[in-house]
Amino acid sequence: MKESLAVIGGSGAYHLLAKSELGEEKECVTLDTPFGKSAPIHRFYSGSQSFLFLSRHGEKDYSIAAPFVNYRANIYALKECGVERIISWSGPGIISSAFRPGDFVVPHDIIDETRKRESTFYKDKGLGFIRQNTPFCPQIHEALCETLHSADLAHRTDGVYICTEGPRLESSAEIRKFRIIGADLVGMTLAPETFLARELEMCYAALCYLTNYAEGVVEREFREGELFEGMQTREEQF
């Protein structure tokens, strides 16, 4: 299985697999890597475009929370499949009042606040001094922005994504701290994924769909039984 483009799906990606909404599936493999088994990797054809698809949180439901995703195995396996470019989607919360639920954002920078994840391929190898001047690929970033503009979808072409350890959500005090250090969005999945792809010389960029305001940003009533009790749709805003 050799393809140059891969898409890594975030929360809810398994719905697309179940509904066969990604195109015509040709094959699916799970690779053994030096870091364990990867998540299943699917090859799809959509029109004239073929690509690989990996659902980081599970195939049939949300069974793997962000701290327990085997990021190294997944990124290594995609490299073994010949992948050169990765588009990753994420559904972060909003810290900055400049953003709204329901918008798309193509972030330009990232802050890593994770604590316990295996975050490098250079363990026990020395060196590993990889520059992060542009952690997200400028070419993919531009292509995503152009696509969103062409589709007339509300979007922002910049934003700083801060990645927390999870699986718990953040406290109001943590969100205030993150705002002070320059974060606009908060999620749990783009680190160490971003940095691992860079270590293996793969171009990587993220597409974010904003799901909710982070804790303490706006007053929201508690909604019993909902995963994100702070989730707010654009319809609710207006």
Q: What is the pLDDT of residues 168-208, one digit of tens each?
A: 999 999 999 999 999 999 999 999 999 999 999 999 999 99
Q: What is the pLDDT of residues 98-130, one digit of tens each?
A: 999 999 999 999 999 999 999 999 998 888 899
Residue 144 reports pLDDT greater than 60: yes
Residue 238 reports pLDDT greater than 70: no
State residue 228's pLDDT score: 56
ω before 135 within 30° of 0 (cis)? no
What are the structural domain ranges in the chain?
Answer: 5-237
Look at phi and psi of residue 134 and say left if phi exceeds 0, alpha if psi is from -120 to 50, else beta: beta
State residue 230's pLDDT score: 45
For the chain, the residue count is: 238
State residue 229's pLDDT score: 46
User: Residue 61: which pLDDT band, with cuts at 50, 70 and 90?
Assistant: confident
State residue 150's pLDDT score: 97
Mean pLDDT of all residues in the chain?
Answer: 91
CA distance 70 to 67: 9
Q: Which CATH architecture has domain 5-237?
A: 3-Layer(aba) Sandwich (3.40)
User: Residue 227: which pLDDT band, with cuts at 50, 70 and 90?
Assistant: low
Instruction: Give the 3-state secondary structure of the chain.
Output: CCCCEEEEECCCHHHHHHCCCCCEEEEEECCEEECEECCCEEEEEECCEEEEEEECCCCCCCCCCHHHCCHHHHHHHHHHCCCCEEEEEECCEECCCCCCCCCEECCCEEEEECCCCCCCCCCCCCCCCCCCCCCCCHHHHHHHHHHHHHCCCCEECCCEEEEECCCCCCCHHHHHHHHHCCCCEEECCCCCHHHHHHHCCCEEEEEEECCEECCCCCCCCCCCCCCCCCECCHHHHC
